[in-house]
Structure 1
Amino acid sequence: MLILRAHHLLCIQGYKGKGYSLHFTDNMDKVVNKLKDNTCIRVVTNTDDICVACPHNFKNGFCESDEKVFVFDSKVLNELKLIEGRTYLYKDILNNIRENLTYEKFLKICKSCYWFSYGYCFNKLKKH
């Protein structure tokens, strides 16, 4: 089972092997490569399996950007009708994204994200 922040469910869709550091991208590669249709994902709003290698994550598991990313998490939970702490099959999450994530919802969730201007996420999400 993987533990993922709600907003990371969208981030991994547009992931292109770029990130904050080599350590971060190595970890992100491992997480993304573990994702198969039958992978169980527990959705959270705190540090997760991706955050462990992020340079913004302190050793005690606290993210220096926690307030900001919590807003992203909350919007994803709300717009995709997901429940924090619940475990889902990855294929069900993908189906949910495909069926429910409109461009308007994507903007509402992600427009203030640092990575938004690169266009990675939406370009990948619209192909689903």
Structure 2
Amino acid sequence: MLRPHHVMCAIGWAGHGYSPAFTRNMNDIVEHRLRADPETPVAFTSGADSICAPCPHRRGAGCDMGGKIAALDRRHAEALDVPPGARMSWGDAQSRAIDRLQPDDLDRLCAGCQWLDYGLCKAALARLQK
């Protein structure tokens, strides 16, 4: 399962997380699964996913930043055309971002994300589009 906004989080992942446990989990998912095998199946959800597991903001299947995260997911789901329940390979999900988004689109799509100012996702998307 993958939240829609986590497509860009995975694309932009550079090894910096909320905590050591979050970083280990994200490395396992992004580096060892998604990037290692673009055929990895993903199913989109509007609730907590495996990336959320060790997040300090997770509250059961939800998030203590629920409104902000729900807005991120809505914007990304619309931009990538990945409603809850949609299924595809990681490679197809990443291709949607590459084909449909420009780095500057992230200013709107990722508004409110504490990682946006670091520019990691914008830079990673630009690299993939070259």
- Asked whether the two chains share a fold, i.e. TM above 0.5, the reply is yes
Aligned partners of 1:62, 1:98: CA distance in 2, in Å?
28
Deviation at 1:50, TM superposition (A): 0.6
Identity %: 30
Q: What is aligned with 1:17? A: 15
Aligned partners of 2:26, 2:103: CA distance in 1, in Å?
25
Aligned partners of 1:65, 1:52: CA distance in 2, in Å?
15
What whole-Å deviation, never above 9, does each CA across 1:2-24 have from its counterpart, x for those lacking one?
x1110011011111111111011
Aligned partners of 1:66, 1:9: CA distance in 2, in Å?
18
- Which runs of structure 2 are paired with 1:2-81 in the superposition (5 Å)? 3-32=1-30, 33-35=32-34, 36-58=37-59, 60-81=60-81
What whole-Å deviation, never above 9, does each CA across 1:58-92 have from its counterpart, x for those lacking one?
2x232101111110000011111222111111111
Instruction: State whether residues 13 and 120 of structure 2, in contact with CA within 8 Å, keep that contact through their aligned partners in structure 1.
Output: yes
Instruction: State whether residues 79 and 105 of structure 1, in contact with CA within 8 Å, keep that contact through their aligned partners in structure 2.
Output: no
Structure 2: 5+ residue stretches without partners: none
Deviation at 1:51, TM superposition (A): 0.5
Structure 1: 5+ residue stretches without partners: none
Aligned partners of 2:55, 2:70: CA distance in 1, in Å?
16
1:112 match: secondary structure: coil
What whole-Å deviation, never above 9, does each CA across 1:20-62 have from its counterpart, x for those lacking one?
110110111111121121100011111000101101112x232
2:44 match: secondary structure: strand
Aligned partners of 1:55, 1:103: CA distance in 2, in Å?
28
Instruction: State whether residues 103 and 125 of structure 2, in contact with CA within 8 Å, keep that contact through their aligned partners in structure 1.
Output: no
Q: Which amino acid aligns with 1:7?
A: H
Deviation at 1:104, TM superposition (A): 4.2
Aligned partners of 1:112, 1:56: CA distance in 2, in Å?
15
